[in-house]
Amino acid sequence: MSEQSAPTEDRVLRPFGPMPAPQPLPMPQQDFSAVPQPRYPRSNSFAARHARVIAVCSALGLIIYGIHEMIAVVAAGGVTVLEGVMTFFFAITYSWIAMSTSFAIAGLLAPRPKPTRAVPQRPLSSRTAIVMPVYNEDPDMISASLQAMGEDLARIGHAHAFEIVVLSDSNRGDSLVRETVAMERLAAGLAGIMPVWYRRRPINAAKKSGNIEDFVARWGGRYDFMLVLDADSLMEADAILRMIARMEAESDLGLLQSVPRLFDGTTLFARLQQFAGAVYGPVVAGGMAAWQGSDGNYWGHNAIIRTRAFAACCGLPPLPGKPPFGGPILSHDFVEAALLRRAGYRVEMAIDIVDSWEESPPSLIATAIRDRRWAQGNLQHSKVIGAKGLAPASRLHFLIGIMSYLSSPLWLLLIMVGLVLAVQAKFVTPVYFGEDHQLFPNWPVFDSERMLALFGFTLFILFIPKIAGMLRAIMLPNLRKVHGGASSIVLGTIFEILASTLYAPIMMMLQSRHVWDILRQRDSGWAPQGRKGSLEAWGALWKTHSGHVFFGVFLAAVAMLVSPVILAWLSPIVIGLVFAPVLSRWSASEEIGKDLAHRGLLIIPEEMSRPAIARRRDEILADQPAFEEDPLAALARSAEMRQAYQAWLTPPPAKGRGEADRFLLSATKKIDDAQDLDEALAWLDQQERLAVAAHPSEVERLASLAARTDARERAA
C-alpha cells in the first residue's frame, strides 16, 4: 500500500500484503433444504401488490386470448398430432412474450415506487468498500474509473466513508504486472483522499462468487456496506450517497440495485444495445421495480449490499454433481438476492438512480461468449428454484432466467414443426378412410385469416415496451432533446427493430447450441469478458456461423418449395441466418457505428452531454503511460516499476514440505539457460510467465538477465 494512501494504523501491516488487517466475518454455507428463521417479517408495499395484480391480470388475459386464437386457427379441420405439438410450443413461447410485456404494462399503470433519499448533508456514519472484482481486465481503465469515482466522492466531502478494494482473480502474468503498476498509480492519484487495497487470489475457487466470499469472510467485518462494481462500471458520487442514505436509514434493506445505463460503445452492436437500454430500458426497469417491490433481484454489480446480512445469508454451497449443472454457482447474483429475501431482508431496485453506467459487449461474438456462461448459470438454477423458504417472486426470477434461454430452442422447434406441417399439407396424400371410417380426410387445415391476425397481435404485444419507450422519449421534452429530437428517436427505433429482427434468429441458434452443449454436460469454463471491438477474421466467422447459414438455406429451399408465401413469412429468419457471418462482422464494426452517430441514429444522452465523471476518467486515461513492450520485459528493465510491483504484490502462499511449483521450476531453468532477456521471454509459456510474475525472486532474476544483456549491447 502506498504510504500516502493507507490509514496510519494500517501502514505496518505488510504481512497481509496490500490489504488491511483481517477482520473476519463468518459466512456459513446455506442449506437449501431447510427454512431459516427470518430476521424480519417478509412483506411488500401496496404499490407492489397493485402492480402484481395488474401484471397477473394482463398476462392471463393476453395468454388466454392468444392460446384460444391459436386453437381456433388449427381447429378448422380438426387438430392433428403435429398441430397439437405446434400449438404446445406456440403456447409456451407466446406466454413468455405475454409475461414480459405484462411486466412493462404493470410499470406503466401501477403507482411509482418510492424514490431514494436525498444526498445526506451530514457525515456518513458507515464505512463502505467500493469493491471491484477483476479477471484479466484492462487495469488502466479500472484505475482511471476508480480514481474518478474517488475524486467525485471527495468533491462532495464524503470520501472519508469509503475505501477502494480491487479483488483480482487474474491468472495471466501480464495482467498481474499491469495490475500492480495500475494500483500504484491509483493510490498515488487518491493520496490523502481514500485508501486503496488490492488482493490477488492465486486459486480462482468458485470464480467471481468465491472471490467476493473470500473478501467478505476475511475482511467483511471492517465494512458496513459494499458497493460491488464490474470492471466497466462507473457511478457518480451523488448516486452512491443517495443509495447509502437509504441503507443507513432502513436496517432491513439488504441490497439496493441501481439501474446502470449502457454507454461508451462505438460498434454497431454496442450502439444498438445502448439505444435500446436508453429508450426502452426505463419502461422495462419501471415494470420490474413495480411488481418486484421488496422481492427484487441482483445483477451482480452497481449495487449497495449490507455486508453482515450478505455474510449471514449468502454463503453459497456447491451444487451436487459435476459441471455444468453441478459445482460452483455461476449466476450467483440471482441466488444471493433470493437468499437475502429468504432471511427477511428487502432487496429493491432504485429506478431513479440514473447516474450509474456500464458498457455493452462490443459484438455478437462477444455477447455469445458471455451468454454461454450465463446460460449455464441460469440453467443451474433448476437445482435452486426448489430451495425451501424462498419468496414466490424469487422463484419467478429463477424461472424467468431459465426460460430466457430455453425459449430459444423452443422457438426453433416451433419453426421446425410449422415447416413440417406446411410440407405435409403440400405433399402428403391425405388419408380419406382412417380407422374411424370418417368421411373427410385427415390433413392440416388452417384458418389463414385468423392466423394472420394472431401473428400481427403477437408482434404488437412483443413491441409494446419498445413503442411505449419511444413515445415516452418523444413526449418528455428533456428526453427528446438528449436523444437528438423526435425524428432521431423514431428513426433510431425503426432501425433498432429491423436490426434486432435480423440478429434474433442468430441468437436463437447460438443459445440453442448453448442449451444443447449444457445438456451434453459440457462446462463453459471461465473466459474473460471481451470489452473492446475488433473485426473477426472471415475464417473464424465462418466456423461459428456456417451451421446457421446452411440452416437458413435449408429453410429457404423448403419454404420456396412449399409456397412463396411461406418464404415471405420466414424471410426475416432466413435473411438473418443466411447472412449471419456478414451481420456478425458488421456487429463489431466501429466504422458503421460512427457513421450511424454522424447521421444522428441510435443517439443516447451521454453522447449529447458527456457526464462529468466520464470526462474525468478520460483525462486520467489520457495521462497514463502506455505499455509499449512486453510487461515482463518492462518490469525487468525498470527498478522503479519493480518497486511498485513488489509493494502491491500479494505474497504467494508458501509451499509445504515435498511440494513444488513445476511451472516456477521450469521458468527458472529457462531464465538461467537464456543468453538474453528476449530469448528468456520467448521460451516462457503463459503458465510460466504467471509463475515468474507472482514471485519477486524470479522477476529479479529477469532483471539481472536484462542488465547483463544491456551491458553486452553497450560494450558492443
For residue 666, being part of any structural domain is answered with yes
Expressed as residue numbers, the domain containing 674 is 635-715
Q: Which pLDDT belongs to residue 256?
A: 98
Q: What was the pLDDT predicted at 445?
A: 58
Q: Which residue has the cell 417491490?
A: 293
In this prediction, residue 52 carries a pLDDT of 95
Is residue 663 included in any domain, yes or no? yes
Does residue 342 contact residue 313 with C-beta atoms inside 8 Å?
yes
- Domain assignment present for residue 600? The answer is no
Residue position matching grid coordinates 371410417:
437
**Rounded Cα distance, 269 and 370, in Å:** 14
For 325, counting Cβ atoms within 10 Å of its Cβ (0-12 exposed, 13-18 middle, 19+ buried), the class is middle
Which tens digits make up the pLDDT trace of 543-593? 999 999 999 999 999 999 988 888 998 999 999 999 999 999 999 999 999
Among residues 374, 257, 348, the alpha carbon closest in space to that of 295 is found at: 348
639 in a structural domain: yes
Domain contains 605: no
689-716 b/e (C-beta count within 10 Å ≥ 16 → b): bbbbbbbbebbebbbebbeebeeeeeee
Among candidate residues 418, 382, 399, the one with its CA nearest the CA of residue 562: 418
CB 44 within 8 A of CB 110: no
Domain count along the chain: 1
CB neighbours of residue 427 within 10 Å = 9
Contact between 124 and 161 (Cβ < 8 Å): yes
The distance in angstroms from the start CA to the end CA of the chain is 41
Instruction: Give domain status of residue 687, yes or no.
Output: yes
Amino acid letter for position 164 = I
- Identity of the amino acid at 360: S
What's the order of all strands across the beta sheet hosting 234-235? 234-235, 356-358, 261-262
* pLDDT score for 7: 41
pLDDT, tens digit, 9 for 90 and up, residues 174-200: 999 999 999 999 999 999 999 999 999
**Beta strands, E only, 224-327:** 225-228, 234-235, 253-258, 261-262, 303-306
> Which string of b and e fits 304-320 if b means at least 16 CB within 10 Å?
bbbbbbbbbbbbbeebe
Mean pLDDT of successive 10-residue segments in the chain (716 residues)? 40 59 96 93 91 95 96 81 92 94 90 77 92 96 98 96 97 96 95 95 92 97 98 97 95 97 96 97 94 96 98 97 94 97 97 94 94 95 97 97 96 94 75 49 63 90 96 96 96 98 97 96 74 81 97 95 89 97 97 96 96 98 86 94 92 85 95 94 96 95 92 80
| In-domain check, residue 540 | no
Which grid cell is 666? 521450469
Rounded to whole angstroms, the Cα distance separating 635 from 703 reads 8
Q: How far is CA 300 from CA 137, 196, 334, 337, in A?
A: 17, 22, 8, 10
- Answer yes or no: is 703 within a domain: yes
Q: For 234, which DSSP code?
A: E
Query: pTM, whole model, 2 decimals?
Result: 0.93
Write a three-state SS string for 431-452.
ECCCCCCCCCCECCCCCHHHHH
Helix, coil or strand: residue 161: helix
